Amino acid sequence: MIRLIFFLIFFIGANVLNTIHVDSFLFSYFILVMSLLSILLEKNLGQTLKQRKPEIYIILSIVILLVYRYFTGILTDSVRSSMILLITPIILLLLPNQLALKKDLKLSHQILKIILIFYIVECGIAITEYGIRGHIFLWIDTSFESHIYGSQGGSSFRSFALHGSPLTNALIVTTLNSFIIISSLKDKYKLFLWALGFAAVMAFNARAATIVTCFLFIVYLLKLISNKRTSLPTKLSIYFGTVSFAGLVSYLVVFHGLGSRLFKSQLLDQASGQKRLDVFSIFEYQGITEFLTGRSMNRFKLIQENAGLTIIENFWICEIILFGLIFVILFALLYIRLLKIHLKRYTLYNAAIVSISFLLLASTNNSLFTQYIPLLLFSLSAYLFRPGLFELILPPKYITNPPIKHLHK
């Protein structure tokens, strides 16, 4: 059942559900129920829960939040937003805690396989949509000007792929790309997957994600060139490959409009950049009590309308306005504690690369407020790509320096 849950999470995205006319939040509740059943059917449930205190503390903090909002009469119209917070730590409980048994390594391998196949499919759909200038799955949200352009096939076409808005999809792809680029994959696989992700991000026409993806490649390139073990032929191949790839991208940008929003003469256009600055005016309508403890969704929407904002392009501000600063700080600290357990296996340099890339990009839109997928994916990736485990669960032919003992021996 656990494998099915992860398959459904990543492959049956919001746009797929919109296309087949299934409510995305109803589907999320279905995933939540399946996850809870899997946890309750665990043979060593008591021992597992004792060993998963970080996730339990996050769940308890969200339950306390729900109880508080219920007794203050502001829960009813914000249940969906609360469920988005609750589902991620519950799904994380499905991951094996102890990796001494082969069955746990096998489960980790299967989840990683699902995620990597999803990455290729997600990127493939985005590139295909851009190539045919049409959408395979529908994103039902007319609040973005970019959606109208995309639907009409205009010059600023944006692929939708599987999960909601182009920005959400770009965040998902870039998050996985950051872990791939710092992993122990062989360079030929790493470069192929990075290029696939870069093409997808350009198809999503997401400026911030494009910049972050280019930054990831530069970091990788500098690290590879400075490595004394890298042979001269390899360095020359990478140099000419990079120049050729840059030439191809330049051609697609100039003659086919790929990533056209990145090169707009007005960086702060009305549809995106300026709104990210205007959003801070919303705090002019805040009382100190509501600022600290949160408010109802109706009050949230009213404040948004008073500030003249169609959408709030910053998940931090969305969370603070709805749930209050106190809870957001608590929630952030608990997640830092959880992620620190996995990220401590990484070098400080690599941990900083994936964490800063995710936080910077996530802060440019409201994806973490409207969906649980991006935060779940970052947490899963921190677990699955961590040094020691990643090399054990991936076939050795894909690894630069495979360990003597591994799952596929």
214-241 tens-digit pLDDT = 888 888 888 777 766 666 676 666 666 6
- The amino acid sitting at 206 is A
How would residue 404 be classed by pLDDT, with cut points 50, 70 and 90? low
Radius of gyration of the CA atoms of the chain, in A: 22
The three-state DSSP-derived secondary structure of 215-279 is: HHHHHHHHHHHHCCCCCHHHHHHHHHHHHHHHHHHHHHHHHHCCCHHHHCCCCCCCCCHHHHHHH
- Is 133 among the domain residues? yes
- Is 405 among the domain residues? no
- Is 177 among the domain residues? yes
Rounded Cα–Cα distance for residues 38 and 93 (Å): 10
CA nearest neighbour of 30 among 19, 42, 17: 17
In the numeric block, which tokens belong to residue 387?
A: 């040094």
End-to-end CA distance of the chain: 26
- Is 404 among the domain residues? no
Residue 145 has pLDDT above 50, yes or no: no
- Is 110 among the domain residues? yes
- The four Cα atoms 341, 342, 345, 349 give a dihedral, to 10 degrees, of -100
- Is 403 among the domain residues? no
Residue 264 has pLDDT above 80, yes or no: no
Find the range with the poorest average confidence among 16-25, 70-79, 366-375. 70-79
Instruction: Give per-residue pLDDT as tens, 167-210.
Output: 899 999 999 999 999 998 988 899 899 999 999 998 998 888 98
Which residues constitute the domain of residue 81? 2-398
For 136, what's the count of Cα atoms within 13 Å in the CB-facing half-sphere? 18
- Is 382 among the domain residues? yes
Beta-carbon contacts of residue 289 (< 8 Å; ≥ 6 apart): none
Instruction: Give per-residue pLDDT as tens, 266-278.
Output: 544 544 555 555 5
- Is 409 among the domain residues? no
Question: Is residue 91 within 8 Å of 5, Cβ to Cβ?
Answer: yes
Instruction: Provide the pLDDT for residue 144.
Output: 41
- The number of distinct structural domains making up the chain is 1
**What element of type H or E holds 85?**
helix 79-92
